[in-house]
Amino acid sequence: FHLAVPVDDLDLARHFYGEVLGLEQGRSSDTWIDWNLHGHQFVTHLAPGRSEGIHNPVDGHDVPVPHFGLLLTVTGFHELADRLRAAGTTFVIEPYLRFEGLPGEQWTMFLRDPAGNALEFKAFADDDQVFAV
């Protein structure tokens, strides 16, 4: 996929996505930076000013909307959670096992980048559960 998100400071975006998340940086200009988000083209565009966020209740948590992220392996999920903790990340929703014992059981965590964009990373022990009902 290709996704572009607004950020209000490209230097903070460069640090967060490049250093904290460890993404490879691609092309860039004075107003945008391309990132390799696990093989997907992700772009941070300089766009000062943000609208108020919306939340929806899911599994007892207020999930920020909109949000984006990736499906990782369970091992990759825990490695990223450890990396984020080591970087001093404040989580919107701490890493935890959601829907335990139910269809769609998954590890999930939510955080915000320095511009306030909400990210969710999740992992399913069984990939057949991604679209389970």
What per-residue confidence (pLDDT) applies to 50?
63
What per-residue confidence (pLDDT) applies to 115?
92
Global pTM? 0.87
Q: Taking the alpha carbons of 79, 80, 82, 83 in that order, is the dihedral positive or negative?
A: positive
Supply the range of the domain harboring residue 31: 2-46
- Nearest 5°: CA angle at 74, between 41 and 66? 45
What per-residue confidence (pLDDT) applies to 77?
98
- pLDDT tens readout for residues 24-79: 999 999 999 999 999 999 999 998 776 567 788 898 999 988 899 999 999 999 99
What does the mean pLDDT of the chain come to? 93
Q: What is the mean pLDDT of residues 2-30?
A: 95
12 lies in the same domain as 67: no
115 lies in the same domain as 90: yes
Number of domains forming the structure of the chain = 2
Structural tokens at position 84: 């984020």
